Amino acid sequence: MIALTLGEIADVLHGRLVTAASDAVDTVVSGLVDTDSRQIAPGDIFVAKPGETTDGHLFVDAAVAAGAALAIVEREVAASVSQIVVADVVVALAELAREVVGRVRAAGDLRIVGITGSNGKTTTKNMLARILEAEGETVAPRASFNNEVGAPLTMLRVTAGTRFLVSEFGASGPGEIARLAGLVTPDVVVELMVGMAHAGGFGGIEATFLAKSELVHAMRGGGVAVLNRDDERVRRMAPIALEKDGEVRWFGHSAEADVQATDVSVSASGTAFTVHAGGQALPVRLRVLGAHHVNNALAAIAAAGALGVELAASIARLETLELAERWRMQPLGSDRVRIINDAYNASPDSMVAALRTLAQITGEGERTVAVLGAMSELGEYAGEEHDRIGELAVRLRIQRIVIVGAAARRMFLAAVAEGSWSDEAVFFATADEAYDYLLTELRDGDRVLVKSSNSAGLRFLGDRLGESFS
């Protein structure tokens, strides 16, 4: 974070400053900001966020022991550290992020990119960060820091020398993206897709469209909107950008896209395609698995182009990226039994893409195995969407379908109804039961997809299988 005095921070947060014996109003703080006391280092700021299962105020002493220079709290605690007492630490975190980013932007040439979409945010964020970090100091979220806490924490990592801030914006309901993106008013916004992920929380696909379009509304006047030409709902966001005197840059497989992909091919070693942009046609060889990551790469290339990065440079840097993110199409195991752990998150769209990738990368003499768990946050659509995935697995001729967890049982029933017979489809109530089965069932030449939403916990099953067959 940039250097600020305790008094300046208190003023920004409209909080009450309680200084420690060794501090004064003009004491300068410039460390990182975190809500996890285990991540605190000397000089950092600890935000004592109340949680569902515990309360950050209980860990102020631990943060002090780790070297915290300041605690932002909702009630004063007995600790030997300066404190700023506020009504709501999450609101305070956002206001501090707004102030810090605003000061850096006003003083230098900071450019801000905002990314959203029902799927692909984290992969696209990582791809764009890989491209931009060669251009100058780049701040991007760790993992999927894209909510009301994670997004401001990322913003607060900017320094006076930061050239690019890449922010990822997720949401489980209307208004969340507007609040988060409104903190920084991005120069470039990226809209990946509008799908069924979190549709239950939004209240349907049209409500999801409205929520995702909040990012374009938050774009800085005269900015650039990087939009998916292949997604009908994303195309409807173009007028919003134009109303803000912005530019629209399209990406996708469509011939009308400014950054277009053709000749896509997928193998166990990666994904290849040709990118067409600015009159050039250049080959791309991604190490990341799955045709669905082509659009993520196109979006990153288009956003980088809007920031002045040459096409060839973007491609060269993308080709060095070995993994989108842990638990996202992550290759584990060995050539004998390859495990693809994609169980950090799941929506109907990403589930379809992962299953198709499994079918595409499995060669002659090899066997497809899909280990599938529940997709969360689908609300009233959960039943029919789980049915659809079970049916698709059979239609793609997945040879072993292993369904795990009561919330995913409809996938199993749909697969059986679609024509899976004998022991082609099996159901287990727990991941431990599925693990015991797979230890004896998997054989040389198997290609195994592990896919579920985070809440289903199958990412840990994928890790165990990867270790067992390494």
- Going by the annotation, the residues of the binding site for ATP are 117-123
Which amino acid is present at 353? A
| CA nearest to 259, candidates 78, 399, 131 | 131
Residue 335 CA to residue 160 CA, distance in Å, equals: 47
From residue 334, alpha-carbon distances to 38, 331, 358, 361, 469 in Å are: 34, 9, 16, 15, 6
Pairing of strands 247-252, 224-228: parallel
CA 383, CA 237: separation in Å to the nearest integer?
A: 30
- For residues 308 and 135, give the distance between their C-alpha atoms in angstroms, rounded to a whole number: 10
Burial 44-65 (b: 16+ CB within 10 A, else e): bbbbbbeeeeeebbebbbbbbe
Give the list of residues 6+ apart from residue 250 with CB closer than 8 angstroms, or none: 227, 228, 229, 256, 257, 258, 259, 302
Cα separation of 140 and 164, whole Å? Answer: 8
Residue appearing with tokens 């994609």: 342
Nearest to 393 by CA among 378, 409, 371, 363: 371
Q: Can you say which residues are annotated as belonging to the binding site?
A: 117-123
Nearest to 214 by CA among 166, 251, 181: 181
Phi, psi of 375 (to 5 degrees): -100, 125
| Residue from 204, 228, 196 nearest 118 by CA | 196
Among 260, 330, 310, 303, which Cα is nearest to 127's? 303
